[in-house]
């Protein structure tokens, strides 16, 4: 019985275990089915949640960009406010310094007037002295302001530019005739300098005209001082060669031909050939062109060259005689990166340059008008002499292809004296060769050429310290001082 009972119990237990496993499998299947149904039901919800999350992220990005843009705008506003405040402070300081300067120059004007007049002078003489001093006083103030600014401006070493591939004759002549680092005494030691200056004085065969037309071709036509130096030197040479020397030579020739018996003035009198008259008109045109080029030239010397290199590069974009004013005005207002000292230099430089430009342009224009009037007068004399002398049958000789007058010796001799008259009428340009008077008239700053052929401020002595073409030169601790 016990054995049967045990077998019955084991059978029952096995049946119960099979039923439990079956029930567990059925439950697992039901759970898997339920999970599948739940996952299918949650899929749209999941996609919507992902989409909402993407929209939220994009909105956050837009808000971050808006916040960054607002931050940049606020920063820009702060910078502009800082720039305006700096500009106001600089202008107030510049105006205060200008007021002190005007007060000091006013006191100096009274002292100059008092020193220039004698108590026993007639009243009209005293008034004339006062008028003369007051007429040049604005230029004196501009020069004094320029000198003061040059002393306090930040000093910069000379920028000599890039070296050329080779030394051409043009570069050699520019540095030989107008070097930036040599005085007149050192230039006189160079034979080429003597050859040019002596040959250019010979008043025959159009040699002065040829020499200076060649010089005009090689000089820097973008520099104010070089153009003014060319005009003053050329016109002064005309006074000496076409005026004084030609008159002396012509008088001797005329005396010799008249002294002979019979007179041989139809052959030996002073006269002009066709080509020399062509060169005569060419020299007049060259001078007029040089005057016109001064209106779009730069001021490459003096204080203007000593400004900060970056600011100077910005100003050179508009550095003509008219555009330079706009460039300096913009630099004195808009450059946030500029330090206060340099900003004040630009502001006061703008005021100084405006005074000088207003006075120098009108005075140089008077020289141009004078030369033009004399030229028109000479053309009128030539036309009158052509009409008068060509009717003189006694003056007609055998035709010469080289002479302008087609065989009329009186006419070609008259052309010679007309040229002498034009040369003598160049005497006002001698004022431009006088250092102090030339500075007051033109306010041009001296420049010269370096061995690279580039235009740099004139030093008048050897540049201290090493230079690009002589790096072994012993450095000089002193600051380079550019002539103003």
- Which has the higher per-residue pLDDT, 415 or 41? 415
Task: Please state, in angstroms and rounded to a whole number, the distance separating the CA atoms of residues 360 and 322.
Answer: 12
The 10s digit of each residue's pLDDT in 4-18 is 666 666 666 676 676
The 10s digit of each residue's pLDDT in 437-464 is 777 777 777 888 888 888 888 887 776 6
Mean pLDDT on 148-167: 70
Mean pLDDT on 361-385: 85
Q: What is the mean pLDDT of the chain?
A: 73
For residue 400, name the pLDDT band (cuts at 50, 70, 90): very low
Most confident segment among 58-72, 333-347, 388-402, 405-419: 58-72
Residue 68 lies in a domain: yes
Q: What is the pLDDT of residue 377?
A: 92
Tell me if 397 sits within 8 A of 266, measured CB to CB. yes
Retrieve residue 78's tokens: 């702060």
Q: What is the pLDDT of residue 20?
A: 59
- Does residue 441 share a domain with residue 305? yes
For residue 315, name the pLDDT band (cuts at 50, 70, 90): very low
Residue 380 lies in a domain: yes
Question: pLDDT at residue 176 above 80?
Answer: yes
Q: Lowest-confidence range among 113-127, 252-266, 277-291?
A: 252-266
- Which has the higher per-residue pLDDT, 472 or 33? 33
> How many structural domains does the chain have?
2
State the angle between helix axes of 123-152 and 2-116 in degrees (0 to 180), rounded to the nearest 10. 150
- Which has the higher per-residue pLDDT, 30 or 170? 170
Retrieve residue 471's tokens: 């790096």
- Does residue 393 share a domain with residue 334? yes
Q: What is the pLDDT of residue 10?
A: 64
Q: What is the pLDDT of residue 438?
A: 74
- Does residue 214 share a domain with residue 303? yes
Q: What is the pLDDT of residue 484?
A: 45
- Does residue 194 share a domain with residue 73? no
Question: pLDDT at residue 311 above 60?
Answer: no
- Does residue 448 share a domain with residue 343? yes
- Does residue 165 share a domain with residue 92? no
- Which has the higher per-residue pLDDT, 46 or 225? 225
The 10s digit of each residue's pLDDT in 218-268 is 888 888 888 888 888 888 888 888 888 888 888 888 788 777 777 676 676
Q: What is the pLDDT of residue 385?
A: 80
> What count of other Cβ atoms lies within 10 Å of the Cβ of residue 404?
19
The 10s digit of each residue's pLDDT in 180-214 is 888 888 888 888 888 888 888 777 777 878 888 88
- Does residue 173 share a domain with residue 245? yes
Nearest residue to 286 via CA among 390, 364, 216: 216
- Does residue 344 share a domain with residue 198? yes
What are the respective helix, strand and coil percentages of the chain, to the nearest 5? Answer: 75, 5, 25
Task: Please state, in angstroms and rounded to a whole number, the distance separating the CA atoms of residues 139 and 132.
Answer: 12
Task: Please state, in angstroms and rounded to a whole number, the distance separating the CA atoms of residues 371 and 288.
Answer: 9
- Which has the higher per-residue pLDDT, 266 or 114? 114
Mapping DSSP onto H, E and C, the string for 398-457 reads CCCCCECCCCEHHHHHHHHHHHHHHHHCCHHHHHHHCHHHHHHHHCCCCEEECCCCCEEE
Mean pLDDT on 321-347: 49
- Does residue 166 share a domain with residue 83? no
Residue 88 lies in a domain: yes
Residue 25 lies in a domain: no
Nearest residue to 465 via CA among 452, 479, 453: 479
> What count of other Cβ atoms lies within 10 Å of the Cβ of residue 281?
13
- Which has the higher per-residue pLDDT, 294 or 8? 294
The 10s digit of each residue's pLDDT in 345-371 is 555 555 555 555 556 667 778 888 888
Residue 40 lies in a domain: no
Mean pLDDT on 170-185: 85
Question: pLDDT at residue 63 above 70?
Answer: yes
Question: pLDDT at residue 292 above 60?
Answer: yes
Task: Please state, in angstroms and rounded to a whole number, the distance separating the CA atoms of residues 324 and 354.
Answer: 10
Q: What is the pLDDT of residue 31?
A: 64
- Which has the higher per-residue pLDDT, 31 or 295? 295
* Percent of the chain whose predicted confidence (pLDDT) is above 70: 65
Residue in this structure with the two tokens 């207002």, named with its chain if needed: 333
Residue 234 lies in a domain: yes
CA 212 to chain CA mean position, Å: 24
- Does residue 155 share a domain with residue 90? no
Tell me if 478 sits within 8 A of 464, measured CB to CB. yes
Question: pLDDT at residue 317 above 50?
Answer: no
- Does residue 423 share a domain with residue 280? yes
Residue 122 lies in a domain: no
- Does residue 331 share a domain with residue 192? yes
* Percent of the chain whose predicted confidence (pLDDT) is above 90: 1
Domain containing 65 equals 48-103
Residue 228 lies in a domain: yes
Please give the DSSP secondary-structure letter assigned to residue 220. -
Q: Lowest-confidence range among 14-18, 89-93, 294-298, 421-425?
A: 14-18
């Amino acid at each position: 019985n016990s054995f049967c009972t045990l077998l019955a119990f084991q059978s029952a237990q096995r049946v119960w275990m099979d039923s439990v496993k079956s029930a567990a499998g059925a439950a697992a299947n039901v759970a898997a089915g339920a999970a599948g149904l739940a996952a299918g039901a949650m899929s749209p919800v999941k996609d919507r949640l992902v989409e909402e999350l993407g929209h939220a992220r994009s909105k956050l990005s837009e808000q971050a960009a808006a916040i960054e843009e607002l931050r940049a705008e606020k920063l820009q506003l702060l910078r502009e406010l800082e720039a305006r405040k700096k500009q106001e402070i600089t202008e107030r300081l510049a105006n205060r310094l200008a007021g002190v300067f005007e007060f000091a120059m006013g006191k100096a004007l009274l002292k100059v007037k008092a020193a220039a007049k004698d108590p026993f002078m007639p009243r009209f003489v005293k008034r004339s002295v006062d008028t003369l001093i007051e007429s040049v006083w604005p230029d004196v103030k501009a020069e004094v302001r320029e000198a003061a600014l040059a002393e306090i401006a930040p000093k910069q070493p000379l920028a000599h530019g890039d070296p050329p591939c080779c030394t051409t004759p043009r570069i050699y002549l520019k540095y030989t005739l107008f070097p930036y680092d040599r005085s007149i005494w050192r230039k006189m030691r160079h034979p080429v300098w003597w050859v040019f200056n002596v040959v250019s004085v010979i008043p025959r065969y159009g040699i002065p005209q040829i020499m200076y037309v060649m010089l005009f071709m090689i000089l820097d036509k973008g520099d104010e001082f070089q153009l003014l130096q060319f005009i003053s030197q050329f016109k002064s040479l005309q006074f000496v060669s076409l005026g004084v020397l030609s008159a002396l030579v012509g008088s001797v020739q005329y005396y010799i031909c008249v002294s002979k018996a019979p007179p041989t003035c139809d052959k030996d009198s002073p006269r002009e050939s066709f080509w020399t008259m062509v060169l005569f008109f060419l020299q007049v045109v060259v001078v007029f062109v040089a005057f016109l080029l001064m209106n779009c030239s730069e001021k490459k010397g003096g204080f203007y060259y000593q400004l900060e290199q970056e600011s100077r590069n910005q100003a050179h974009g508009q550095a003509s005689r008219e555009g330079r004013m706009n460039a300096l005005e913009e630099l004195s207002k808009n450059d946030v990166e500029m330090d206060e000292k340099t900003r004040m230099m630009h502001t006061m430089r703008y005021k100084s340059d405006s005074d000088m430009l207003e006075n120098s342009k009108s005075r140089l224009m008077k020289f141009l008008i004078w030369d033009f009037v004399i030229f028109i007068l000479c053309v009128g004399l030539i036309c009158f002499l052509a009409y008068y002398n060509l009717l003189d049958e006694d003056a007609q000789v055998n035709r010469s292809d080289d002479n302008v007058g087609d065989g009329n010796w009186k006419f070609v001799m008259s052309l010679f004296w007309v040229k002498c008259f034009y040369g003598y009428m160049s005497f006002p340009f001698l004022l431009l060769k006088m250092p102090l008077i030339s500075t007051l008239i033109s306010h041009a700053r001296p420049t010269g050429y370096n061995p690279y052929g580039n235009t740099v401020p004139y030093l008048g002595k050897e540049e201290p310290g090493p230079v690009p073409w002589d790096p072994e030169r012993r450095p000089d601790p002193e600051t380079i001082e550019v002539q103003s």
